Amino acid sequence: MQDQAKAAGWEKPVPTALLVMADGTVIEGFGFGAPGKAVGEVCFNTAMTGYQEILTDPSYAAQIVTFTFPHIGNVGVNDEDVETVDSDRVSGARGVIVQAPATEPSNFRAQKGLDAWLKARGMIGLYGVDTRALTALIREKGMPNAVIAYAPDGEFDVDALKAEAASWPGIDGMDLVPDVTAKQDYGWTATTWRLGEGFGEQQAPRFKVVALDFGVKRNILRLLAEAGCEVKVVRATASAAEILAEKPDGVFLSNGPGDPAETGKYAVPTIQKILEAKIPTFGICLGHQMMALAVGAKTMKMHQGHHGANHPVQDFTTNKVEIVSMNHGFAVDPASLPSNAVETHKSLFDGSNCGIALTDRPAFSVQHHPEASPGPQDSHYLFARFVEMMEKHKAA
């Protein structure tokens, strides 16, 4: 009877991938991408587009991304939409969870399918999961530590996977920047992409900007170059003396992964000296948290974090509401901001802090990602604001 059921296709297929959580919960599904296993923090992302940029964003280091949108992979992948600067270095999410398997890509820019791309990057995929139920679980209990595992033969040591998930310490208290920062300093000249033209090249810069790399995304660097900046990217451990020796018109503090308080142990003293020198400074994401720490504020771990491309944020300097892209599991505690740090942006979802400006220094930062273009360009004005700040500084 069992053989007849199998021949008729009635037999339940054997799961080839698992998500094993630290509390012992096991979610079964089917694997794609690279076989293997990886441990990380499970988050959910509500974006309907941009999955390639999300999975290659260094800010997702040590995380397993669950997409709430069911049709992930339908437009394939290409070489132009990768956000990791070093293409030879795989940094970004450790795994991906989707509801349905990706179909053949149907986009003129696609160079390969999601499955083959994940396999080439060594990233594990899990499909056949009720991602909305998993999202509801995360909203209720917070982002769990878990192991994602894919074995084509369906053979797993579940007890060992449970033990690995339970023993992983989690991102809270973890400095992940050394895994994603530049190995050596470099210059950046590429500007934004245009249909039929590809990426441009900055040839007549008006300002020199040093970007402190905590896990910077390519499109941030492109928009800085597009705004008229000659960009020098330096590693996260660069000293203030090294940065100031470049005689920059401005300093940029990049996005990145991990616990900001841990990264701040070596980055904050550098940022404090830059601020003391009154060099115009602009921070995004982890860079925002670093600036807040540098002026004495505190950061805190969020329950479920903000991950998506549909977050409403209000800019109090204009009173306008913009739709932004977010990716963070930590936030600045607004109650801890000193008197010289004014809150400029706030999330309209939960009221969390999304931006500050210093009243005694030419410096500001935002928690969201203005370069990710979900609005699509609601927040691009922030790069113009940085340029205006550098113009005033040079004129003075």
Residues recognised as catalytic: 285, 369, 371
Is there a contact between 327 and 60 (Cβ–Cβ < 8 Å)? yes
- Measure the CA–CA gap between 282 and 267, rounded to whole angstroms: 15
Closest residue by Cα to residue 95 from 133, 47, 149: 149
Per residue in 11-23, is it b (16+ CB within 10 Å) or e — as a string?
eeeebbbbbbbbe
In the block, which residue shows the tokens 């018109």?
249
- Measure the CA–CA gap between 42 and 304, rounded to whole angstroms: 9
> To the nearest 10°, the Cα dihedral for 16, 19, 25, 28?
-30
- Measure the CA–CA gap between 366 and 357, rounded to whole angstroms: 9
Residue 68 identity (one-letter amino acid): T
C-alpha distances out from residue 380 to 53, 76, 333, 376, 383, Å: 18, 27, 25, 9, 6
- Measure the CA–CA gap between 251 and 203, rounded to whole angstroms: 20
> To the nearest 10°, the Cα dihedral for 215, 221, 223, 227?
130
**Kind of pairing, strands 229-235 and 186-188?**
antiparallel
Beta pairing partners, 193:
199
- Measure the CA–CA gap between 45 and 25, rounded to whole angstroms: 21
